[in-house]
Chain A
């Protein structure tokens, strides 16, 4: 790799009890979906050059798995690979796992995750006999996957329940950002997820760290005119990206996933390489800024 000698080494943190130390940023390979193969190859090289050692992908990210494949196979030993499935029963999960292995062109996936858990019914389903987790565990016994994880944008208490009910869960992926953290209600209490996950020594992967808020109404801004591929409006200035990254990475979590749009990835890599922690007064400053941006009270003068 062409890494200048003075390039800072990206911080790593233990990913729960998996035995892997993940970099503070995880490459969300959904970004590859919007690139041609050559651009996708270049992006993976740039991500690896920055020192990132944890990648995350899913079969639902267009053809991201296929585009990740070539460079992933070339650098397989350098990458801790996370993948996931939205299937909730044994057969569906087994099928999707085999399909992902095939599309990625690898023999094993390091972390296989329940994708996007939304409801208690789904939690019942994946944990029941013949549920998706049976397929996950069988695949682990066969050496096709190494570790089990779960991802969700759902209610924090649902994620906490899942942590309590799935004994061999090793990681959770969930949203965390100052806009969400400034709200005190249970619906936004992802800090409770961090706390519970840390009590259980799970790896914690943060998504939506760079979300500014929802897109304007489609009447005001048609979907095809949105400047970014994310389904939410991301922050997009280098200083904002650095601030959001440092804030998220300072919340006692393992790693922060980049936003999906490829245009934002290099700024996140830069923020992760420069990350040196954020003190509490500065964290409160970010929270206050977010609270005012989203305040129901107009013209609030003070903090």
Chain B
């Protein structure tokens, strides 16, 4: 399967070869594929989304069942033992982790990491003010909060995630720009618009906001089409217990 250049660029200065890896938030398996390509001895692909877990099994796990274990689990509490992982990756994970859940996820990733482990955290800076995608994410979040009380997405500045992990004993190693600008293609726009509509539909029908949001989602989606805006970064850390 094709490994995205973003993943390759995030991993190419990390000691993946022969390492036991945890891909936190496995998505459709892109980073798992990148870790396998780079010679990981084993990859735990953990996701709380059963559909994603199936996708990873089909796309990546099938070719190399001995090296991949796909685990459907909450990242605040995984079945992995303490100190069992050499390299943790969170590629595009934290934007779907709410501010309230961030500490628990960071603590869990730290718990499973071995004393001299490496960590790679790749995510998106907040979008610039003039980006139309920013409006789409805003209505997606408004709809999600109306439906569930939590935002759908949060874009943390690189500095924010740096500080978060520093607080759990991770020493900052380096930062790279993976994408600038970030290409939000028609398929991204459609996917986020659909997710936003779904949330709006799930909101209480008594709320007059749901209808207004749906109208706004349709308008913004038609306006955007596709857009390139913002930055995706890669942060690398080392656990301080190395010495």
A285 touches B187 (CB 8 A): no
- Measured CA separation A289–B184 after assembly (Å): 7
B191 touches A182 (CB 8 A): no
The reply to whether the CB of A297 lies closer than 8 angstroms to some CB of chain B is yes
- Measured CA separation A288–B188 after assembly (Å): 11
Interface Cβ pair total, 8 Å cutoff: 81
Q: Is the interface of B mostly helix, strand, loop or mixed?
A: mixed
The reply to whether the CB of B92 lies closer than 8 angstroms to some CB of chain A is yes
B-chain residues with CB within 8 Å of residue A295 when the two chains form the complex: 187
Interface string of A265-303 (1 = CB under 8 A from B): 000000000000001111011111101110101111111
B4 touches A288 (CB 8 A): yes
B3 touches A301 (CB 8 A): no
Instruction: Tell me the count of chain B residues lying within 8 A, CB to CB, of chain A.
Output: 33
B2 touches A301 (CB 8 A): no
The reply to whether the CB of A184 lies closer than 8 angstroms to some CB of chain B is yes
**In the complex, how many angstroms separate the beta carbon of B139 from the nearest chain A beta carbon?**
16
Interface residue from B2, B6, B9, B59 paired with A184 (Cβ < 8 Å) = B2
B-chain residues with CB within 8 Å of residue A291 when the two chains form the complex: 2, 4
B180 touches A282 (CB 8 A): yes
- Measured CA separation A183–B2 after assembly (Å): 6
The reply to whether the CB of B211 lies closer than 8 angstroms to some CB of chain A is no
B55 touches A297 (CB 8 A): yes
Interface hits, B186-243 → A, CB 8 Å: 186-188, 190-192, 194, 226, 228, 231-232
A-B contact pairs, 19 of them (CB 8 A): A182-B4, A182-B5, A184-B3, A280-B9, A282-B181, A285-B179, A285-B228, A287-B4, A287-B5, A288-B183, A292-B188, A297-B55, A298-B187, A299-B191, A301-B188, A302-B30, A302-B91, A303-B182, A303-B232
Give 8 nearest A-B pairs by CB, closest first: A289-B183, A302-B92, A281-B180, A281-B177, A292-B185, A299-B191, A184-B2, A284-B5
B residues in contact (CB < 8 Å) with A: 1-6, 9, 27-28, 30, 55, 59, 91-92, 177-183, 185-188, 190-192, 194, 226, 228, 231-232
Q: A291-B2, A292-B188 are in contact. List 11 more A-B contacts (CB 8 A).
A: A182-B2, A281-B180, A288-B4, A292-B187, A293-B185, A293-B186, A297-B28, A299-B191, A301-B191, A303-B92, A303-B183
A residues in contact (CB < 8 Å) with B: 182-185, 279-282, 284-289, 291-293, 295, 297-303
